[in-house]
Structure 1
Amino acid sequence: MAEDRAPSEAIVICTRNRPGELRRTLMSIAEHPPSQDAVLVVVDASDPQARARNRQTVDPPRPSIPCAYWPYGDTPSSSRQRNYALERLPESIEIVHFLDDDVTVHADYFEALSAVLRTESDVGGVGGIVLEPSTDAPSARSERLQSLFFLSCAEDGHVLPSGSATSAQQSIPNDTSSRRNTEWLNGCSSYRRSLLNRHRFDEALTGSSMLEDLDLSYRIHRRARLVVEPEARLTHRRSARNRPDAEQYNRVLAVHRRWFVEKHFDGVAPRLAYWWSLVGRLLAITASSAPHRTAARRGLLRGLRTVLTRSHPLLSDCPPHTGSASGPS
C-alpha cells in the first residue's frame, strides 16, 4: 500500500481459539491479497494462550497487506466483534470484506467482489461461491419433504417465513450462469461501508452468533440489492474447533430461528410456518441414520421447550416486529 494513500477497503476476521486455522487463512490472503489499498484486521476474543499465538501470527510485517491485531476483552460474540471492528475502521474505508477464520481465499477473490460494488451502484452487498467439504446431495424425496415443511424451496438465496433459508453461494456443477440476485448472504461477504454505518450486527447474539449473517444481510436486502459473484471463490475448511455438538446446535437453532421470525415477519402465518418446520426437522432427525441422531433430537426438543416458555433472552427481550428493516444499531 502506498504510504500516502489511506486504505479504501478492509478485511475483517473475527476469531476465537483457532490459532492454527487463523494462520492458514492469513497465509491464503497473503498469497492472494487485494489489489486495492486495503488493511486486514483481526479481532481476537481468544483465551490467553491462543491469543499469544494469534498475536505472533499477525504481528510480523507482511508486505502484501498491512495487518492490525485488535484484542477483544468483552463477552465473546461474533456479532459484537464485527461491530467493534466497524467502529474502529478508518473513515477512508468504503468496502468491508468479512471472512471467517477457517477459510482459504482463491485468486482474485477480493477483486471480483470489489468490482461489483464499485461498478453497480444499486448493489449493497456481494458474496462469492463458498466451497464446502463434500456432502451427499439430498434425494428428490428429501427435497420434496423439506419443501413441504418450509425448510427449503427450489429458489436459491430465498428466505422462508419459517426462518429457514436456501443458499445462493453453493457451488453448482457445470454452472455457467452469471451474477445472480439473492435475499441473504453468509458470513463471508462484502458490503458498502455506508450501509454498515446504518445496519450493524445484532449484539443480542452471543458466542458464535448463529444467524447473525442472515439477520444482517436480510435487513440490507430490503434497502439494496444483494448478489452472488461466481468469479469470487473461497474454500470453507469448516474447523471442528469451537463448534456446537449436535444437541447444542439443534437447541440453539430452534431458538434463533424463532427470534429471526419474530424480528422480521408480521402475522400468524410465519409463526405457523415456523412450528410446521420444527415438525419437519423432528421427523427428519428421527428418520436419520446419523450417529448423533439421539442427541440432535434431544437438542431440538430442548429448543422447543425454550421457545414455548420463552426462557431465553433473545425471546424475552425481542420487540414485536414493526416493519422497520434497520434493526439494532
Structure 2
Amino acid sequence: MFPEHTGASEAVVICTRNRPVDLARTLKSVAEQCRAHDRPVVVVDGSDRDDAERTAGVVQSWGDEELPFSYHRHSGRPAGTRQRNVGVDLLPETVRIVHFIDDDVTVHPGYFEALSAVLRTEPNVGGVGGIVLEPSEGTPSTRRKRLQSLFLLRSAEDGRVLPSGCTTSAQQPIQNDTSGLRDTEWLNGCSSYRRSVLEQHRFDEVLTGYSMLEDLDLSYRIHHQMRLVVQPEARLTHRRSSCRRLDPERYNRALTVHRRWFIEKHFDSVSSRLAYWWGLAGRFLAITASSDPRRIAACRGFLQGLRVVLARDHPLLSDRSTSSTADQD
C-alpha cells in the first residue's frame, strides 16, 4: 500500500464504475509495465454496491508485491471529474507526475516511461498524451471530409480546438510517423500531467455523471498556460467497453448540451457562438444522411439536446455557482 511507497515520483489514477472485468484487464497491462512496482495506482470506484465488491476484489487480488495500489470507494454521486480530483488528492506528496488512464484500456510496453521522460526533460510541457488505438471505423470519404470542414466539424490540422467546440485529435496514429513530439491544443482522458499543474487546474466538477468533455475542458485550460504534446512512442489500446456507455440518443443529447457549455466557458466572441450553431447544422445533416441503423435514436437525441439548449433548461447552462450539485447525462 501507499505508506511503503511514499517516495514514488509518479503514479497512475484510474476512475471506474461497474466495470470489474474491464478493469482487471487494464490492471494486468499496468502491472506488466517496466518498474510497475515503483508506480503506485489509485483506483477511485463509483460502482453500485454489487459491482463495487467485485471491483474491490479485482484490485486487491494483485497484492502489494505485484502492484502497489490504493482502492477508494467514492461515496458521492459517481462522476468522472470528482473521482479524478479525489484520485489526485489521495496521492503521496512525493508524486510529481500523474498518469490518468481509463478502466477499459491496455497500455503497451514502455507507455508510462515514454510519457514521464517528456515531462522530466521538457520543462515547458505541462501535459503529454500517447497514441490511442481505437477499433477501426473506416476512413471517411474525401467528400465527407470536405463537408465536415465546411461545417467546422474538423480541421486539416491535428490537435485543434475549433470555434464550433469540435476538435481534431493529435492522438491518432499516423503511418510511418517520425516527427517526434506533436504539439496539440488538447488531450483526451488518457494523458499525463505535472502534479503542480493539477494543483492549479482541477477537473471541473460542474460536470457530473458521464462528465462528457471533462478532458477537453481541463487540457484546453492548461494549453493556455503551458505546452501540451503527444509522444507517438507511447501507445495504448482503447478497448471501448460496452458497459455503462451512453446509447446514441443520450449521447447526442448530452453532446449538444455539453458542447454549448464548453463554448460559453471558453469563447466570448459572437463568431464562436455562430460557429457552434453552424456546426450543429452540419451534425444534423451528417446524422440524417448516415446509414447507421441507430440514426433515428441519434437524431431524436440531437433534437432533444437542441430544445434544451434553446430553452437553457439544463444546469450547465444556468448559473455555474449552483450547478455543481446537479445530476447530468
Q: Give the TM-score normalised by structure 2.
A: 0.94
Confirm whether residue 75 of structure 1 aligns to residue 77 of structure 2: yes
Residues 33 and 102 from structure 1, CA distance in 2 versus in 1: closer, same or farther, beyond 3 angstroms? farther
Stretches of structure 2 lacking an aligned partner (at least 5 in a row): 322-329
For 1:235-277, what per-residue CA distance to the aligned partner results, in whole angstroms no more than 9, with x for missing partners?
0000011111101100000000000000001110000000000
On the 8 A contact 1:79/1:202 being kept in 2, the answer is yes
Structure 2 residue matching 1:216: 3-state secondary structure = helix
Matches within 5 A, 1:231-250: 231-250=233-252
Shift of 1:177: 2.2
Matches within 5 A, 1:46-125: 46-60=47-61, 61-125=63-127
Residues 71 and 10 from structure 1, CA distance in 2 versus in 1: closer, same or farther, beyond 3 angstroms? same
Q: Which amino acid is 2:213 matched to?
A: L
Distance in 2 (alpha carbons) for counterparts of 1:33 and 1:309: 52
Matches within 5 A, 1:214-233: 214-233=216-235
Q: Which amino acid is 2:106 matched to?
A: T
Distance in 1 (alpha carbons) for counterparts of 2:127 and 2:5: 28
Distance in 1 (alpha carbons) for counterparts of 2:105 and 2:210: 16
Distance in 2 (alpha carbons) for counterparts of 1:195 and 1:205: 20
For 1:34-78, what per-residue CA distance to the aligned partner results, in whole angstroms no more than 9, with x for missing partners?
468321000000011111111111113142431110000100100
The one of 142, 145, 150 aligned to 2:144: 142
Q: Which amino acid is 1:154 matched to?
A: A
On the 8 A contact 1:263/1:318 being kept in 2, the answer is no
Q: Which amino acid is 1:315 matched to?
A: L
Confirm whether residue 25 of structure 1 aligns to residue 26 of structure 2: yes
What's 1:39 paired with? 40
On the 8 A contact 1:259/1:318 being kept in 2, the answer is no
Residues 279 and 4 from structure 1, CA distance in 2 versus in 1: closer, same or farther, beyond 3 angstroms? closer
Q: Which amino acid is 1:79 matched to?
A: T
On the 8 A contact 2:30/2:36 being kept in 1, the answer is no
Shift of 1:90: 1.4
The one of 238, 249, 259 aligned to 1:257: 259
Matches within 5 A, 1:284-303: 284-303=286-305
The one of 261, 266, 272 aligned to 2:274: 272
Q: Cα RMSD over matched residues?
A: 1.5
Structure 2 residue matching 1:197: 3-state secondary structure = helix
Q: Which amino acid is 1:15 matched to?
A: T
On the 8 A contact 2:145/2:154 being kept in 1, the answer is yes
On the 8 A contact 1:40/1:68 being kept in 2, the answer is yes
On the 8 A contact 1:184/1:217 being kept in 2, the answer is yes
For 1:208-229, what per-residue CA distance to the aligned partner results, in whole angstroms no more than 9, with x for missing partners?
1000000000000001000000
What's 1:326 paired with? none
On the 8 A contact 1:150/1:276 being kept in 2, the answer is yes
Residues 288 and 203 from structure 1, CA distance in 2 versus in 1: closer, same or farther, beyond 3 angstroms? same
Q: Could you list the runs of 4 or more consecutive aligned residues of structure 1 that deviate by over 6 angstroms after TM superposition?
A: none
Aligned length: 319
**Structure with greater proportional helix content:** 2
Distance in 2 (alpha carbons) for counterparts of 1:213 and 1:4: 28
Q: Give the TM-score normalised by structure 1.
A: 0.94
For 1:168-201, what per-residue CA distance to the aligned partner results, in whole angstroms no more than 9, with x for missing partners?
0011223222111000000000000000000000
Shift of 1:95: 0.4
Structure 2 residue matching 1:173: 3-state secondary structure = coil
Percent identical across equivalent pairs? 65
Structure 1 residue matching 2:65: 3-state secondary structure = coil
Q: Which amino acid is 1:17 matched to?
A: N
